[in-house]
Amino acid sequence: MVPPPRDVAERRTLPAAVVHHVRRVSRHAKQTLDRHRGRSYLGVMTAAVLDRIDSVTLSSVTLPLPTGISDAKVLTGRQRPMTEVAFLFAEITTEGGHEGVGFSYAKRAGGPAQFAHAREVAPDLIGEDPSDIGRLWTKLVWAGASVGRSGAATQALAAVDVALWDLKARRAGLPLAKLLGAHRDSVRCYDTSGGFLHEPVEQVKDNATRTLSAGIGGIKIKVGQPDWRADLRRVAAVREHLGDDVPLMVDANQQWDRPTAARMGQALDEFGLVWIEEPLDAYDAEGHADLARTLTTAVASGELLTSVAEHRELIRHRAVDILQPDAPRIGGITQFLKLATLAEHANLGLAPHYAMEIHVHLAAAYPDEPWVEHFDWLYPLFNERLECRDGRMHLSGRPGLGITLSEQARAWTVDRTTIGS
């Protein structure tokens, strides 16, 4: 008979207590190794928590505008001129020392509601892993489920959601667009802030000249006045001033009925517009679809919708050629990415509304060439500036969104609270 190996022979002669001790130590070592691999000693997956949220600071900031802003909704008597914009900022810090900032906003009304809702649900974030952004969005939605999944409730969550994405990208040392997977390092951009109806057309033309000299590529002007002939005169004057090669868009801010939209759409075809924006009520998907089928000029809409589900109706009806979601309005970046996938699948163009500090990253990650809307109103809120040149808005190399709140933003804070340490 072949004798057993020497180590086996020795184990047979070890005292039982020693053998038991060796087995116990070996089992403990395996459990420790398995935990480091993300498994418990029972072989069940456990959470690989990288960090935990330590505090959330919410700030309600009122941005004053230099003059009252009027679009068609003011001229038709549905709204008053806009003199300020209410912002909700969320600043998140973790036990590991990482930080992120995000924001949402409301025009004319809704800012205090966003702040109040965020303050109610934010305690549910403390101690959570900031990497689990999708799960945390769902958790906060359920925390306030009785007030719905659109409108002020999800707009309040948007500030937190954007801050979590900013934190994640900062921790990775990447601009947010690169974290998401950018298709380009710059995006076509157009300006809206110089094209409102409270200014005469000569001033709008001067604004457009300055805008183009600043490196911005396109001009959008407001239409939808009670006198449709005044709209046509305004568009003709601006087109003549710009020439045929400068991209020009118009925005009716939902102030036309179906017959007027059809008539105006046909009349505007001659001006070579990039798109006609919000020709009808934002929720009239069927009316938009009729226009999109009959007009030569592209139809764009979506900025005032407040959820992915509402946008899905536009997509389902083939109601627009260009979708214009607003990440802060639909619940943040998590929801925007879901919507962008639907838009890509439907072969739609993309032109996110407002909030260029967020949307330049999301547009850069969209497969088809998008547009980003430039507004100079937000300049005082941040220490950094986005660079526009040669008609495009360029990503910076700064990690995350690449923004930090200015001292002026701090000075305009009207309410503030910190949850956690």
Q: Is 353 a catalytic residue?
A: yes
Q: Which of 65, 100, 66 is nearest to 84 (CA)?
A: 65
Asked if 375 and 254 sit in the same domain, the reply is yes
Q: What is the CATH number of the domain that holds 315?
A: 3.20.20.120
Minimal CA–CA distance to 106: which of 146, 151, 59? 151
| Domain extent for 78 | 53-174
- pLDDT > 70 fraction of the chain, expressed in percent and rounded: 88
Which of 174, 191, 207 is at the close of a domain? 174
One domain for residues 74 and 153: yes
Give how many domains the chain has, as a whole number. 3
391: in domain = yes
Q: CB under 8 Å to 155, separation ≥6 — which residues?
A: 88, 104, 106, 110, 114, 306, 328, 329, 331
Q: Are residues 142 and 211 in the same domain?
A: no
**Residue 106 shares a structural domain with residue 241:** no
The pLDDT tens digits for 113-148 are 999 999 999 999 999 999 999 999 999 998 888 888
Tell me: do 72 and 182 sit in the same domain.
Answer: no
Strands 218-222 and 248-251: parallel
The answer to whether residues 188 and 255 belong to one domain is yes
Question: Minimal CA–CA distance to 68: which of 51, 80, 78?
Answer: 80
| 221 and 93 in a common domain | no
Q: Which of 311, 353, 359, 361 is catalytic?
A: 353
In a domain, 417, yes or no: no
Residue 311 annotated as catalytic: no
Label residue 43 left, alpha or beta by phi (over 0 means left) and psi (-120 to 50 means alpha). left
Query: What would the two tokens of residue 114 be?
Result: 């966003």
Please check whether residue 15 lies inside any domain of the structure: yes
* Residue 19 banded pLDDT, cuts 50, 70, 90: very low
Region of 176 (left: φ > 0; alpha: ψ -120 to 50; beta: rest) is alpha
Kindly state the percentage of the chain with pLDDT values over 90.
79
With bands split at pLDDT 50, 70 and 90, how would you rate the model's confidence at 106?
Answer: very high
* Active-site residue (options: 117, 205, 220, 222): 222
Q: Are residues 183 and 258 in the same domain?
A: yes
Same domain, 216 and 91: no
CB atoms within 10 A of CB 394: 17
**pLDDT tens digits, residue range 263-312?**
999 999 999 999 999 999 999 999 999 999 999 999 999 999 999 999 99
Same structural domain for residues 63 and 15? no
Q: pLDDT category, 28, cuts 50, 70, 90? A: very low
Residue 268 shares a structural domain with residue 341: yes
In 131-212, the DSSP E strands lie at 186-191
CA distances from 359 to 106, 151, 373 (A): 17, 19, 8
The answer to the question of residue 410 being in a domain is no
